[in-house]
Chain A
Amino acid sequence: MDGEAQNESVACEKATLAPVDRLRSNRAESPTPGLVEGTEPGAVQKSAFFAHAQSFEDLTAEAEEKAEQEGVVEDSGQTEDELQVLVGERTITEQHAQDVSPQSRSKEEDMSSEAWRSHRKHVFVLSEAGKPIYTRYGSEEALSSTMGVMMALVSFVESDKNTIRSIHADGCKVIFLAKSPLVLVGVSQTYQSDKELLRELQYIYYQIVSLLTLTQLNHIFQNKQNYDLRRLLAGSEYLTDNLLHRLDRDPGLLLSAVTCLPLSNSVRDVVSSSLQAAKAKNLVFSILLAGDRLVTLVRKKDQFLHHIDLHLVMNLVGSSSSFREGEGWTPICLPKFNTAGFFHAHISYLESASDLCLILVSTDREDFFNMSDCKQRFLERLTKRTAYQALKEALKCPSYSVEQVGIPELRHFLYKSKSSGLYTSPEFPELYQSDEEQERLMGLYQDLHSHLHHPVRPLRFFYRCTNKENLLAWVTNGFQLYLCFSPLGTKAMAVSAVNKLLKWIRKEEDRLFILSPLTY
């Protein structure tokens, strides 16, 4: 774990090796900035607050990770001139299989099987002894024999010194992730790739670890192989349920990034510095959230928060109203930081009816009053400043409409700055207001994402027309960009829109991103 953290911080420094002056001029001049990491719109000026993981990649097998990183090195000479070449290289205009309504398929299956079989994505967690721990749908008891079969499959292949990864059968994928002492199984009827599904199982694994720590899990199962872990997870199933829901809906989990509350630079600076001033010996991270959006984050020098850990914190805070009553104080393991131990988080809302939630992460379980005091100091400082009013004002419009960008054909987009680990995205336009449509759009993004991150043949650029929308995805060393256009547009139009959008993001970057994260 330590080694990993080290690598990450090295990578982080690498991102900012360029002197700030040069960075600034690059920012201003480059017409399509971001081909070099650290110069893209939204790039951080100092060191980022996230553990600078290869984020998506670091979730997958090490061998794959290496291959991908080599790929990155090979491609690093790329410039924007190559954009056109790449466009020609891979343009797919097709009636994608996904457009065959998945609904009719599942109904068909429904006829011949029990209702729960028709769910798009099942997730099961079991112990190595084959004991059920979690199921997304239905009850674990009823599924114990099914889980027994799953475990039998895993151990059968393992006995041959091999690992079972997936089974593909008739529009259905079964993905296995063995993370001792747990085994996770996903059964999916979506078009997500194995890799994407594996990534989702990883998240579930980390969710469970964050409640118990890996050390405790190992300890439990070493002592008693067929321990019923549901006893310890009782009452927390909703966290896993909600995380799975987020995986279907939240672009942040797809992009391995978080999004910020749009806020003027000066206001954010005041909030950040007030938070920075409220420090304490054992305080490692101070996180201010507005719902699922980051307002600011201050971290201890040399300590980085991994985006997965932040998503787990967001899931915890967003899933429970219990923090609205008084001040919360809870042990929490941040598995990407350290799977062995608990941090202790002080969680409270700034005002009773407010969306602003402050999370203070300490290493000391006895630190409650110190953290409570930090919060009080932060609040006192902040309420004296006019910035607090501006912040509350900003909460009223936590997003922006795509019209502000001024590209008529553009319906929606996701833009992630790699060096900062932050992304920005407008609110869903009218066409995508319903839950189904939003999930469908997310499905399209997921599909683009898996093409760009294909383990064997990753693409840098991808353009796709369907009868409902045209989609474009582009990944460089500096950013990832996913755009959704009306189906009437052309490819040339889409390509020119990219430049326009990047310029717009550059212009708005100090409102949409946190450019200078602070440390204590």
Chain B
Amino acid sequence: MALVHEEVADAICTKHAETGLCFYFHYLEKQGCACSVSHLVVMNTQRDPVATQLSSDTLGRPVRTLRVKMVLLGGSGVGKSSLALRFVRSEFRSTVPTVGCAYMTHMIHLRDVSLRFEIWDTAGQEKYHSVTPLYYRGAHAALLVYDISKRETFYRVQLWLQELEKHYIPGSTVMWLIGNKADLGHARQVSEQEGHSLAADRGLYFIETSALSGDHVDELLQDVAHRVYECVGGQQGGLSEWEEKPCEDLHHRDMSSLLTSCCKS
């Protein structure tokens, strides 16, 4: 039995190499060395995680599912769609420029809650700029992506930042600055330090990723999940503003017909 361990935030994901099954060990306590397993989630990564998601933890308590609206912004070709593909399918494929916007969903399981990420992968091309407010409006997480090998995209990301700040309601959106294509170190045009300082100045989280190699991609998503859950106020009674949305907005639109049929009746 070959098991691959990977520690992500407060959960350990263990992937069984032959079956592709993922075992998530969630720990009740992050601090201290004595950790006790709170529950175990088994996911078959070959299938949509939602379909196999356990609806209750091992103690029989129902696991709540909360919606997280996440938007990816940045110039064309910086790797937004590639990152989204990594998030959702853990793979890297050649992509083409996005037309308009691509929408996909992905479940992240935290220790006492499941977050249903609704990912809006926007098009970086300028002609779609005018429709982008649709996607960042009301977003709980905004990922501002640039390409470390193209300085121009770093400027571009600052324009996005300015635009977001105009509409920013403190405490409602967690923002990340992401320097993607970290694997292209030899062609680097934006130093890690520059990214860091921009992020620090403007109160953003910062990370450099590579959608190509997968470096820091899972960490990023786990981190986003935690920050959103903590900062946007999911701890006590949940993120109520998500449930206030009109009925049809609450329908789950995953490929899992299981879920859809029980939501509608």
Which chain A residues numbered 193 to 248 have a C-beta less than 8 Å away from chain B?
Answer: 211-212, 231-236
User: CB distance B128 to A331 under 8 Å?
Assistant: yes
Q: How far is the CB of A227 from chain B (nearest CB, A)?
A: 12
Determine if B104 and A326 form an interchain contact, defined as CB atoms under 8 angstroms apart.
Answer: yes
Bound complex: CA A80 to CA B102 (Å): 54
CB-CB under 8 A from A331, the residues of chain B are 100, 128, 131
Please tell me which stretch of A25-33, A366-374, A399-407 contacts chain B, meaning at least 4 of its Cβ atoms lie within 8 angstroms of it: A366-374
**A325: chain B residues within 8 A (beta carbon):** 81, 84-85, 95, 102, 104, 121
Give chain A residues whose Cβ lies under 8 Å from the Cβ of B102.
322-323, 325-329
A235 to B125 CA separation, bound complex (whole angstroms): 7
A376 partner residues in chain B, CB cutoff 8 A: 251, 253, 260
Tell which of B101, B104, B248, B251 touches A330, judged by Cβ atoms closer than 8 Å. Answer: B101
Which of B76, B95, B121, B131 sits near A326, CB closer than 8 Å?
B121
A383 touches B257 (CB 8 A): yes
Binary contact track B95-133/A, C-beta < 8 Å → 1, others 0: 111111111110000000000000101010111100100
Secondary structure call for the A interface: helix
A380 sits at the interface (CB 8 A): yes
Report if B1 contacts A (CB, 8 A): no
Residues on A with C-beta less than 8 A from B248 are: 369-370, 373
Given contacts A233-B127, A383-B257, contact A320 B104 (CB under 8 A): no
In the complex, A238 Cα to B88 Cα: how many Å?
Answer: 27
Bound complex: CA A314 to CA B68 (Å): 33
Interface size class of A (residues with CB under 8 A): 20 to 34
Task: Assess whether B244 is interfacial by the CB under 8 Å rule.
Answer: no
Q: Does A90 sit within 8 A of B, measured CB to CB?
A: no
Interface residues of A in 65-80 (CB under 8 A from B): none
Complexed CA–CA distance, A320 and B101 (Å): 13
Q: Say if the beta carbon of B18 comes within 8 Å of chain A.
A: no
- B104 — which chain A residues lie within 8 A by C-beta? 325-327
> Distance in Å from the Cβ of A179 to the closest Cβ of chain B?
19
Measured between alpha carbons, how far is A216 from B260 in the docked complex, in Å? 40
Q: Which chain B residues (81-95) contact chain A, with CB distance < 8 Å? A: 81, 84-85, 88, 95
Contact of A322 among B98, B105, B131, B251 (CB under 8 A): B98
Q: Can you name the residue of chain B whose Cβ is closest to the Cβ of A331?
A: B131
Known: A325-B85, A325-B121, A372-B253. A320 touches B261 (CB 8 A): no
Residues of A within 8 A of B119 (CB): 326
B249 CB-CB contact with A under 8 Å: yes
The contact of A234 among B76, B88, B100, B253, by CB within 8 Å, is: B76
Give chain B residues whose Cβ lies under 8 Å from the Cβ of A370: 248
A329 contacts B103, C-beta separation under 8 Å: yes
B33 part of interface (Cβ distance < 8 Å): no
Question: What is the bound-complex CA distance between A406 and B238, given in angstroms?
Answer: 69
- Known A231-B126, A373-B248; contact A328-B131, beta-carbon cutoff 8 A: no
Q: How far is the CA of A233 from the CA of B99 in the complex (A)?
A: 12
Q: How far is the CA of A72 from the CA of B126 in the complex (A)?
A: 46
Interface membership of A59, Cβ < 8 A: no
A168 within 8 A of partner (CB):
no
Instruction: Output the least CB separation between B134 and chain A (Å).
Output: 6
> Are B131 and A365 within 8 A (Cβ)?
yes
| A316 contacts the other chain (CB 8 A) | yes
CA distance A372 to B253 in the complex (A): 7
Residues of A within 8 A of B98 (CB): 322
Are B99 and A320 within 8 A (Cβ)? Answer: yes
- Inter-chain contacts of B121 with A (CB < 8 A): 325-326
In the complex, which of the residues B88, B102, B248 has the most CB atoms of chain A within 10 Å of its own CB atom? B102
Beyond A322-B96, A383-B257, whether A329 also contacts B101 by CB under 8 A is yes
Interface: A101 (CB within 8 A): no
In the complex, A113 has a CB within 8 A of chain B: no
Chain A residues in 8 Å Cβ range of B134: 365-366
B76–A235 touching, CB < 8 Å: yes
In the bound assembly, the distance between CA atoms of A373 and B251 in angstroms comes to 8
Asked whether A327 and B125 contact (CB < 8 A) given A235-B76, A376-B251, the answer is: no
Give the nearest-CB partner of A212 in chain B. B127
Write the nearest CB–CB distance from A182 to chain B, whole angstroms: 15
Q: Cα distance A371–B155 when bound, in Å? A: 35
Contact, CB under 8 Å: A321 / B96: yes
Query: Which residues of chain A are within 8 angstroms of B81 by Cβ–Cβ distance?
Result: 322, 325
CB distance from A347 to the nearest CB of B (A): 8
Give the shortest distance, in Å, between A14 (CB) and chain B (any CB). 38
By a CB distance below 8 angstroms, the chain B residues around A383 are 257
Per-residue CB proximity of A455-491 to B under 8 Å, as 1/0? 0000000000000000000000000000000000000
Give A292-345 interface residues, CB cut-off 8 Å to B. 316, 320-323, 325-331, 345
Q: What is the CA–CA distance of A287 and B133 in the complex, to the nearest angstrom?
A: 27
Chain B residues near A212 (CB, 8 Å)? 127
Over the window 235-263 of chain B, the binary record of Cβ atoms lying under 8 Å from chain A Cβ atoms (1 yes, 0 no) is 00000000000001101010001001100
Whether B131 pairs with A372 at a CB distance below 8 angstroms is no
B85/A234 in contact, CB under 8 A = no
Given the complex, which residues of A lie within 8 Å of B261, measured CB to CB? 380
Q: Which residue of A lies closest to B245 (CB)?
A: A369
Q: Could you tell me if B125 and A330 are in contact, using CB atoms closer than 8 angstroms?
A: no
Q: Nearest chain B CB to A356's CB is how many angstroms away?
A: 14
The one of A231, A329, A369, A380 in contact with B257, judged by C-beta atoms closer than 8 angstroms, is A380
CB nearest neighbor in A for B124: A235
List chain B residues, Cβ under 8 A from A323: 99, 102
Give A383 to B261 CA distance when docked, in angstroms.
13
CA distance A327 to B105 in the complex (A): 10
Given contacts A321-B96, A322-B81, A376-B251, contact A232 B127 (CB under 8 A): yes
Give the docked Cα–Cα distance between A366 and B104 (Å): 17
Contact pattern, A 354-393, Cβ under 8 Å of B = 1, otherwise 0: 0000000000011011101100100110010000000000
| Beta-carbon contact of A326 and B103 below 8 Å | yes
CA distance A270 to B251 in the complex (A): 25
Residues of chain B touching chain A, judged by Cβ–Cβ distance below 8 Å, are: 76, 81, 84-85, 88, 95-105, 119, 121, 123, 125-128, 131, 134, 248-249, 251, 253, 257, 260-261
Q: 15 new A-B pairs (CB below 8 Å) besides A322-B97, A325-B81, A347-B99?
A: A323-B102, A325-B95, A325-B121, A326-B84, A326-B104, A327-B104, A328-B99, A329-B102, A331-B131, A345-B100, A369-B253, A372-B103, A376-B251, A379-B257, A380-B257
Q: List 22 A-B contacts (CB under 8 A).
A: A232-B126, A235-B76, A320-B96, A321-B96, A322-B81, A322-B98, A323-B102, A325-B81, A325-B85, A325-B102, A326-B84, A326-B103, A326-B121, A327-B102, A328-B99, A329-B100, A330-B99, A330-B128, A331-B100, A345-B100, A347-B99, A376-B253
